[in-house]
Structure 1
C-alpha cells in the first residue's frame, strides 16, 4: 500500500466553502456572526434534551468557562479522570484549583464510580470540605457510567462538568453524552468527529446560562456604552469563519458517526478469534460509542510482542497508530496531586494502541491494518 493511513483526518463535506464565502462577502470575518448563531442552533438540535450551546475557541476554553461558572476558585479541589488528555485537568489549574485524579474501571475505561466515592469521602475527611466539581470524560467516544456517577454527584451535591470532547454523537441509554452534567464540553479540533479547524463548545442548561457563558467568553464586558469590566473575562468566542466550517461539517456529522461505527464493526470481524488482541467495544446495550478512535489491547504473553513494537512496525508500513493516553497521575506536572488509583489506567497505557477509524479509512484500509497487526502479533 502506497498511501499513509492516518488515525482520523478531517473530512470536508464540500459545503464549508459556501458558508465561508458568505462570511467574506458579508464581511462577517470576526468572532460572533450569523454562522456562529446557526452552528450553535444546529448543535443544539442535534444534542437535544432542551440544552443550549455556546460555540467557543476550543474545548479547553469550554471546560475553563464551565469551571468558572461552577464557582471553582483557587484552593478548591476538582475530581478529574486520570486516564485522558491533559486538557481536562489543565483548566482546573488555570484557576489555582487542584485536580484530584481518579482512576478508571475496566468496562468503559472511564472514571470508576467506586473510586470516585472513595475519593470524595477521603477529600472531605482530609480537607474538611467537598470537592467543587466532578469532571468525568467519555474516553475515545465511549460513554462513562453516568447513572452511577450522577447518583454519587447528587448524593454529595457536587456538580458535574462532562468532558465530551471525543464523544460527539455518543449515547448512554439513548441520551447524548455531554447532557448529563450541569455543563458539557465538546471539541472540534482537526481530528475530532467534526472540525472547525479548532474550536469547541459548552453545553449549558438554559438561555440565561448561555448568556452568562457568552459574557465570560467576550472579555466580561458589562452593558455600558464604554468598556466596563467588573469580572475577569476571556477571549474565547468562535470566529464566524470557523463556524462556517462547522456548519458544513454538521451536514456530514451523522455520516461520520455511522462510518466510525462501521469501521469498528469491521475491526470486530477482523480480530474475531485472534488471541492476544482485544478490541474495545460497547460493554452492553446501554452504551453506544461513536468510536472516535478504535482501540486495541495487545497481550505480550499471547502475542510475543508489545504495543511499542507494533506501533513502530505499523508506522514503517504506512499506518499511523498512537499509544493510549498516559494517565494524568503519572505525568510529571501532576506528580504531587492527590490521586486514587486501582492500576487500571496504568495497565491499559502499557498495552494499548489507538488505530485508524476516521472518515478517510476505507474497508480495504481496515483489511490491510488488521492483516499487518496480525503479522506483528504472530509468533
Structure 2
C-alpha cells in the first residue's frame, strides 16, 4: 500500500475525455481557464496561474516579486528540496530556519530573530517562504505581522495543504502569493502540475507572462527577456477540475484515516502524531513521532516491519541544512527538524486506499505494537 496514491475515478475520466475530444490539448484552452478560475475561487484569491509543477510556481512567484542575485530567501529547513531550489533558481541564497517540534512548521519566533539579524547586517531579504507541512498551515496569524513590519514579502508554499485552513482562512490565501502542487501524490492531482494564486493582479500577470516564454503580445514571436515553458496543459487542467469537485470528499476520507491512527497510537507510550491538534489540517500525510526511550522501539523498526507487509512508509523530510547540496548554508537551527527526521515516520494516508487496504495497514501496526509490548 502506497502512502498517497492518486484517487482517480469515472468523473476524472469523463473530464479528460471531453477535453481530448474538444481538440484543446495544448497549454491553452477552456478547461485551463476554468481550472484557474475555480481554484482561485476555492482559496479566496482573485487570480490563479496554472503551471507544470509546484516548483515552477515557486520559481515564478519569486521572480514576480523581484527576487534575484544578492538577496536571501528565508526557507524552513524541514521541507522538500523544491522550496530551497526555487530560491536558487531565482539567483538568491536560501537561509534556513528550524521548525516547531509539535507541528513541523516554521518556528516563527526563530524566524523573527533571524530576519532582525539579517536586516542589521544590511542583507536584502527577498521573501520568506513558509511551508504548510504535511497539510497543516503555518502560524500565519503570528508570521504575517512580523514580515509586514519588516517589509518582507511572504510566499506561502501550500503545496501540501490544499483544502486546509488556518483561523478559518483557506490555505493558499496567505501572503503576497501562494503556491499549490498537483503532483501525483498530493491530495488532488493533475498528474503533474502546480499553480500560483494571488490577489495581486500585477504579480499574476507577471507570472503568466514569464510562464509562456515571456512572449510579447504581438503576432510574431518577440521576446525582450528570458521566460520559461511552464504553462499547464488543457488536458491536465481538465483532470484538475474533476479532482477539485471531489476535494472535500477526498479530504474527509483522509481525516477518517487520521482519526483511526489517533485512536491506535493513543495507547502506545512515547508516540505522538505531528500537528495532532490542528483541526484545520487537510490530513495529507499522517506522521507519527516516536520517543524510543519511552516507546522501547524506534520509528525505523516499525518502518521495517511494515515494509515486510508491503506497506509503504517514509521518514520525515531530511532537513535542508543536512543535505549535501546545501552543506555550509546559513541557518537558524535548534535541532528540532533533525529530531523529527530521526524519529518521525509518515504512514499511508491516501483517500484511494480501500477499506481492505486500510485494515491490512492497521493489522500490521497492531502486530508490531503487540510484539513490542
Offset at 1:20?
2.1
**Contact 1:14 1:248 (C-alpha < 8 Å) held by counterparts:** no
**Contact 1:297 1:348 (C-alpha < 8 Å) held by counterparts:** yes
The answer on 1:316 being equivalent to 2:308 is: yes
The answer on 1:350 being equivalent to 2:346 is: no
Give 1:195's aligned residue: 189
Aligned partner (choices 292, 295, 307) of residue 303 of structure 1: 295
Aligned partner (choices 31, 34, 52) of residue 35 of structure 1: 31
Aligned partner (choices 139, 162, 178) of residue 156 of structure 2: 162
Separation in 1, partners of 2:190, 2:146: 35
Aligned partner (choices 103, 124, 134) of residue 98 of structure 2: 103
Give 1:275's aligned residue: 269
Give 1:78's aligned residue: 73
Partner secondary structure for residue 10 of structure 2: coil
Partner secondary structure for residue 124 of structure 2: coil
Matches within 5 A, 1:130-145: 130-145=124-139
Separation in 2, partners of 1:174, 1:231: 41
TM-score (norm 2): 0.95
Unaligned runs of 5+ in 2: none
Offset at 1:89?
0.7
Separation in 2, partners of 1:257, 1:147: 24
1:37-65 CA-to-partner distances (Å, cap 9, x unmatched) read 111122122112x4311111000000000
**Contact 2:101 2:340 (C-alpha < 8 Å) held by counterparts:** no
Give 2:118's aligned residue: 123
Separation in 2, partners of 1:240, 1:144: 32
Give 1:185's aligned residue: 179
**Contact 1:266 1:363 (C-alpha < 8 Å) held by counterparts:** no
Offset at 1:18?
2.2
1:164-212 CA-to-partner distances (Å, cap 9, x unmatched) read 0000001001101121110100000001011101001001114443222
Give 2:15's aligned residue: 19
The answer on 1:204 being equivalent to 2:216 is: no
Partner secondary structure for residue 58 of structure 2: helix
Separation in 1, partners of 2:350, 2:243: 14
**Contact 1:62 1:202 (C-alpha < 8 Å) held by counterparts:** yes
**Contact 1:267 1:366 (C-alpha < 8 Å) held by counterparts:** no
The answer on 1:264 being equivalent to 2:250 is: no
Using a 3 Å threshold, how does the CA distance of structure 1 residues 186 and 352 change in structure 2: closer, same or farther? same
Partner secondary structure for residue 105 of structure 1: coil
Separation in 1, partners of 2:199, 2:41: 14
Figure out how many residues of one structure are paired with residues of the other and give that number. Answer: 371
Q: Which sits farther off after the overlay, 135-144 or 16-25?
A: 16-25
Give 1:327's aligned residue: 319
**Contact 2:268 2:295 (C-alpha < 8 Å) held by counterparts:** no
Offset at 1:121?
1.7
**Contact 1:307 1:351 (C-alpha < 8 Å) held by counterparts:** yes
Using a 3 Å threshold, how does the CA distance of structure 1 residues 245 and 35 change in structure 2: closer, same or farther? same
**Contact 2:176 2:200 (C-alpha < 8 Å) held by counterparts:** no
Offset at 1:362?
4.1
Give 1:63's aligned residue: 58
**Contact 2:258 2:283 (C-alpha < 8 Å) held by counterparts:** yes
Separation in 2, partners of 1:16, 1:370: 30
Separation in 2, partners of 1:122, 1:335: 21
Q: C-alpha root-mean-square deviation of aligned residues, in Å?
A: 1.5
The answer on 1:234 being equivalent to 2:234 is: no
Separation in 2, partners of 1:25, 1:247: 16
Separation in 2, partners of 1:358, 1:201: 22
Aligned partner (choices 195, 220, 223) of residue 217 of structure 2: 223
